[in-house]
Amino acid sequence: MENNNKYWKGLEELNNDAAFAARKKNEFAEGIPLEEVLSESDGDLSSTRRDFLKYFGFSISAVALAACNTAPVKNAIPYIVKPENITPGIPNWYATTCGACASGCSILVKTREGRPVKIEGSDNANAFNKGGVCATGHASLLGLYDNERLRAPKSGNADATWDAVDKDIKGSLASAKNIRLITSTINSPTTKKAISEFTAKYQSTKTITYEAVSYNGLIEANKQAFGKAVVPSYKFDKAQVIVSFGADFLGTWISPVEFTKQWVSNRKAENKAMSRHIQFESNLSLTGSNADMRFPIRPSAEGVVLISLYNKIAALAGAPTLATAGNIELALNAIELTAKELYNAKGNSIVVSGSNNIDNQLLVAAINSMLGNIGTTIDIDNPSNQAGGDDASFETFVNDMNSGSVDAVVFYNTNPAYSYYNAEKFKTGLKKVALSISTNASTDETGELCKYQTPDNHYLESWGDAEPKAGYFALIQPTISNVFTTRQAQTSLLTWAGNTTDYYTYLKQNWVGSVVASESEFNQALHDGFIRKTTAEAKSYSNAAALVGLVNPAYSNYNNAKGKTELKLYQKVAIGDGTHANNPWLQEMPDPISKVCWDNYIAIGKVTADKYKLKDGDVANVKVGNVTIEKLPVLVQPGQANDTVSIAVGYGHSKGKVAVSGKNVYSFANFSNGSFGYMSTDVTIEKASGDYELAQTQTHHTIEGRNLLREASLAEYIKDPKAGNHFHTHIVSLWEEYDYKGHKWGMAIDMNACTGCGACVVSCNAENNVPVVGRKEVIRGREMHWIRIDRYFSFKDSKGEVTTKEKELAKKGDDVNYENVRVTYQPMMCQHCGHAPCESVCPVLATVHSSEGLNQMAYNRCVGTRYCANNCPYKVRRFNWFKYRSNDEYDFNMNNDLGRMVINPDVTVRSRGVMEKCSFCVQRIQAGKLKAKIENRIMVDGDVKTACQQSCPADALVFGDMNDKNSEISKLFKNERSYVLLEEYNVQPSVTYLTKVRNVDDVIAGDHAVEHNKEEKHEEKKEEAVEHHS
């Protein structure tokens, strides 16, 4: 039956208008006609495959074209009138002599477009520094661009013209009756001549050598003992046994680069013989840290230890001994042992002391003379002119000033108002002098008080000469025209003496005839940087001084100090006596021992620190006599002798933006017994309120038992050249290795040679435009150095067990000998891994591998995720946390136009937010390649030297092509001592390390190595079957 009823759902349906009909049509889903679409053939689709390709192609090319904005073109503007000898982009090199200190190393200066940008050691094989330059030398380049240098002479506080100043000075000098010329050590023959001319004109002139850190004691002792008031020439390379009493000859003493070269030449394990180096000292010095044996002594004990050593050697030699006035306690039969070593190597040994005490130096002279070392390892006939000091005369001068008897004084390259122990007395005296002139380059503490400041040129702007060692005549030539209206001090003296010859002519006149025979010889010397003359034969001398009188004072010094805490003032490798304290590169160079930058501090041993309840980060007031210095930061320093503290001089200037850091402790020095003394037994230390964080670049000091430092004793090495170096892995790689068809660059680092001096760090800073970041940033762990020298301590307990683990040390507590530590240095830079972990993680390919094995950074591409740095197992990558140039927060050399002149134009200055790291000096590699290409030859070993390698005073770094089978680097990679760090991770570093070999009787590599050796031999037989083994 049909149902006629009509049901509707709503009125809309009943009306069924058009709108409703449309909606109704859409009410129910039609389903997606997927099957239909898939089953149909291509042609029936509304868009065809061709259409798809067309649109696809169009979109891709449209996007690509849209992205094609041209990269900006920057034009370099050429010289309109090109100066002679300057080709943009091509450096000019000048041979000259380093003027940073009196050591007078021969150097080469690289200039680009008229600007000196780098200092390197002279490549001349006859140079006494043999290509080495120290950190200070490298950094002295930046001194040229010191923004605080005086722009022009000053009369009082006002700028003046040279003519006006000269007129005034000449007038005053003419009427002066008592003139003094205070200089640092002068070893320049022509400067001496200029001074003599000045003295001839103004006859009341007396020249006094003043050194902040004086060698008066040494000179005076040699005068008394051998009749010659000289600093001898030392030959550490000839010595089989080296005994040093606090002389930091690898770091700061007399001529450290020269001595390092000598010292290291006799420390090569491959020769199967090494010198034995014994150090007695209070503070852990760079030299002490490299010694085979080191005995901590109190400064006051040096005299009695020397007497005791003298007696022991005398006993062995059958010579008369000195009477003694008591016993001394020194662990491990140190003196007995040292005496034996010295005596067995008599004639081939050397004893030196860093003391400025005449008595101690007399004893040293006597010991050397008794051992027959004078004439063999110590040359008195061809002395060194690299150090000086006439303390008594300076003392008299200060008294004379105060009594008003001096009416004119000229300061040349010296700053007593800062460095004299009684600066107030000096300043009071100076105010009484009618005419005072400072020739220092900037307004320092002394210059500030002088009536006239006649700023000297920087040595890189000057003509000059030097005779650092007898018979070694070196020339200084300008590498840039004067940056400011300065005039070199010699010209000033000559001008005031009425001689207007320009200094170049004056110099040449002085040389031709006396040093060189002709002008062409002069030019040759200028080209070479120096000329060596035949020297006198070194003769043997016997001690002529009486020693008996030394015994009682020595013993009373020793006995009086018992139970007291003693102070020793020392120089840090970077800052030295403070002359270069305004140099940010040096301030930021980590101290080799403490890794502290930017500050001096109380270095105190753990036992002593516990006694005073002091710890790292504390501050303490130190009182010596009636001088108190407040709130000196405390650093608990392993290796510091018990009951002694050491504080570095050279810090805390009142002038100089950078030099003000730290505290000036020269006021703790004294004048006694005819010499300045740098120690005291009258010390009070008390903890002060507050704290002070020191900027340390390394805050963990032990290796935690990790297999990263490999060492052996010489005996072990002779028995088995692989001693200590048996851990190697055979790793199977999943990937095919890249075939390096051309070059493959690599570096070898001899840990046995590296002394940790830090010259490479500053050299790298200069070469690679590494920014200075300042104390606060270093505290935050953000120093930018591309190369660092890791320094590790290992400690022994009372049983002689060696500990390198933090937790074990804590457990052992007082059983650990913190006074005597073993130190290992490990230079660390980008290892240029073959399988670089940094490369694979960079999202934007900003760090990639070159076909020559370099791990390269494309700064422009870096987005700054820092993933690469996290994944670097060596932690050598450095991030630009801030904009470090042209930023007032980082007001160092990169924040002023003058300071930026030091920038190496071959290396990009990095922007903030990008990662950077060692590039193996890729710009030098490129320069080497181009040179070879221009000369139409293939590259040879030695064509490329990295900045760190070039001037390493210890030749610890070797760079080269590993694909060149005959290169030194290839040989070193095959050396038995060679190992790479973290070999088991198969990152395949291009840097290899050579084990450290110590000339000690201890077992270092140990039985473990021997066992390993057996194991290895055993396994070698079935090597084919073995893939993994460790």
Which 707-736 positions form the footprint of another protein (CB under 8 A)?
708
Q: Does residue 32 belong to the site contacting another protein (CB under 8 A)?
A: yes
The interface mask with another protein, positions 225-264, x = CB under 8 A, is: ----------------------------------------
Nearer to another protein, 725 or 804 (CB): 804
Nearer to another protein, 27 or 739 (CB): 27
The distance of closest approach from Cβ of residue 56 to another protein in the complex, given in angstroms and rounded to an integer, is 14
Nearer to another protein, 635 or 709 (CB): 709
3 state SS of 309: helix
What CA–CA distance (Å, rounded) separates 979 from 826? 13
Report the residue from 822, 878, 996, 998 that binds another protein according to the rule CB under 8 A. Answer: 878
Encoding tokens for residue 367?
């010991």
How many residues form the binding site for another protein (CB under 8 A)? 72
Nearer to another protein, 372 or 864 (CB): 864
The distance of closest approach from Cβ of residue 824 to another protein in the complex, given in angstroms and rounded to an integer, is 11
Report the residue from 359, 465, 790, 819 that binds another protein according to the rule CB under 8 A. Answer: 790
Q: CA-CA distances (angstroms) from residue 900 to 116, 310, 354, 824, 891?
A: 12, 55, 38, 36, 12
What CA–CA distance (Å, rounded) separates 85 from 83? 6
Nearer to another protein, 206 or 866 (CB): 866
Listed ranges 121-129, 247-255, 446-454, 787-795: which one lies at the site for another protein (CB under 8 A): 787-795
Nearer to another protein, 230 or 862 (CB): 862
* Helix residue ranges per DSSP H, 67-183: 135-144, 162-175
Report the residue from 277, 298, 775, 877 that binds another protein according to the rule CB under 8 A. Answer: 877
What CA–CA distance (Å, rounded) separates 874 from 349? 40
The helix (run of H) or strand (run of E) holding residue 691 is: strand 683-691
The distance of closest approach from Cβ of residue 63 to another protein in the complex, given in angstroms and rounded to an integer, is 6
Q: Which of positions 183-212 make contact with another protein (CB under 8 A)?
A: none
Residues with Cβ within 8 Å of residue 280, at least 6 apart in sequence:
243, 244, 245, 246, 294, 295, 296, 297, 302, 305, 334, 338
The distance of closest approach from Cβ of residue 827 to another protein in the complex, given in angstroms and rounded to an integer, is 11
* Phi, psi torsion values for 635, nearest 5 degrees: -130, 120
Q: In 3D, which of 676, 689, 585 has the Cα closest to residue 630?
A: 689
The distance of closest approach from Cβ of residue 62 to another protein in the complex, given in angstroms and rounded to an integer, is 10
Cα 7 from chain centroid?
102
The distance of closest approach from Cβ of residue 867 to another protein in the complex, given in angstroms and rounded to an integer, is 6
Nearer to another protein, 7 or 28 (CB): 28
The distance of closest approach from Cβ of residue 551 to another protein in the complex, given in angstroms and rounded to an integer, is 46
Residue 176 · residue 505 · CB < 8 Å: no
Number of neighbours of residue 688 by Cβ within 10 angstroms: 16
Nearer to another protein, 29 or 548 (CB): 29
The distance of closest approach from Cβ of residue 26 to another protein in the complex, given in angstroms and rounded to an integer, is 5
3 state SS of 653: coil
Listed ranges 182-190, 226-234, 575-583, 867-875: which one lies at the site for another protein (CB under 8 A): 867-875
Q: Which of positions 913-972 make contact with another protein (CB under 8 A)?
A: 913-915
The distance of closest approach from Cβ of residue 944 to another protein in the complex, given in angstroms and rounded to an integer, is 27
The interface mask with another protein, positions 417-456, x = CB under 8 A, is: ----------------------------------------
Strands of the sheet containing 179-183, edge to edge, are 158-159, 154-155, 452-453, 435-438, 408-412, 179-183, 206-209
The distance of closest approach from Cβ of residue 733 to another protein in the complex, given in angstroms and rounded to an integer, is 15
Q: Which of positions 800-859 make contact with another protein (CB under 8 A)?
A: 826, 828, 837, 840-845
Nearer to another protein, 253 or 874 (CB): 874
Residues with Cβ within 8 Å of residue 212, at least 6 apart in sequence:
414, 415, 416, 418, 419, 420, 577, 578, 579, 649, 650, 666
Nearer to another protein, 19 or 200 (CB): 19
Q: Does residue 871 belong to the site contacting another protein (CB under 8 A)?
A: yes
* Tally of helices (H runs) and strands (E runs) in the chain: 32, 43
Report the residue from 660, 882, 968, 1013 that binds another protein according to the rule CB under 8 A. Answer: 882
Nearer to another protein, 158 or 734 (CB): 734
Report the residue from 272, 431, 539, 706 that binds another protein according to the rule CB under 8 A. Answer: 706
Number of neighbours of residue 883 by Cβ within 10 angstroms: 15
The interface mask with another protein, positions 969-998, x = CB under 8 A, is: ------------xx--x-x-----------
The distance of closest approach from Cβ of residue 115 to another protein in the complex, given in angstroms and rounded to an integer, is 29
Q: Does residue 862 belong to the site contacting another protein (CB under 8 A)?
A: yes
The distance of closest approach from Cβ of residue 936 to another protein in the complex, given in angstroms and rounded to an integer, is 31
The distance of closest approach from Cβ of residue 799 to another protein in the complex, given in angstroms and rounded to an integer, is 24
Report the residue from 228, 883, 900, 971 that binds another protein according to the rule CB under 8 A. Answer: 883
The distance of closest approach from Cβ of residue 704 to another protein in the complex, given in angstroms and rounded to an integer, is 5
Q: Does residue 777 belong to the site contacting another protein (CB under 8 A)?
A: yes
Please state the three-class secondary structure of 415-459 as a single string.
Answer: CHHHHCCCHHHHHHHHHHCCEEEECCCECCCCHHHCCEECCCCCH
The helix (run of H) or strand (run of E) holding residue 633 is: strand 627-636
Report the residue from 532, 720, 867, 927 that binds another protein according to the rule CB under 8 A. Answer: 867
The distance of closest approach from Cβ of residue 874 to another protein in the complex, given in angstroms and rounded to an integer, is 6
Handedness of CA 776, 782, 787, 788 (dihedral sign): positive
Q: Which of positions 35-74 make contact with another protein (CB under 8 A)?
A: 60, 63-64, 67-71
Q: Which of positions 5-24 make contact with another protein (CB under 8 A)?
A: 23
Q: What is the DSSP letter of 43?
A: G
Nearer to another protein, 49 or 875 (CB): 875
Q: Which of positions 153-172 make contact with another protein (CB under 8 A)?
A: none
The distance of closest approach from Cβ of residue 775 to another protein in the complex, given in angstroms and rounded to an integer, is 14
Encoding tokens for residue 141?
């380049």
- 113: region left, alpha or beta (phi > 0 left; psi from -120 to 50 alpha): left
The distance of closest approach from Cβ of residue 758 to another protein in the complex, given in angstroms and rounded to an integer, is 14
Bridge partners, 879 (sequence order): 915
Calculate helix-pair angle for 503-511, 519-528, nearest 10 degrees: 110
Residue 399 · residue 373 · CB < 8 Å: no
Listed ranges 206-214, 364-372, 596-604, 871-879: which one lies at the site for another protein (CB under 8 A): 871-879
Specify the pairing of strand 293-296 against strand 115-121: unpaired
Q: What is the DSSP letter of 381?
A: E
Amino acid sitting at position 920: F
Nearer to another protein, 68 or 81 (CB): 68
Nearer to another protein, 496 or 890 (CB): 890
Bridge partners, 70 (sequence order): none
Encoding tokens for residue 631?
């709130």
Residues in the chain: 1030
Only one residue has tokens 């390390």, namely 993
Report the residue from 744, 788, 977, 996 that binds another protein according to the rule CB under 8 A. Answer: 788
Report the residue from 177, 700, 811, 1014 that binds another protein according to the rule CB under 8 A. Answer: 700
The distance of closest approach from Cβ of residue 136 to another protein in the complex, given in angstroms and rounded to an integer, is 24
Nearer to another protein, 149 or 791 (CB): 791
* Phi, psi torsion values for 519, nearest 5 degrees: -65, -35
Residues with Cβ within 8 Å of residue 864, at least 6 apart in sequence:
879, 880, 913, 914, 915
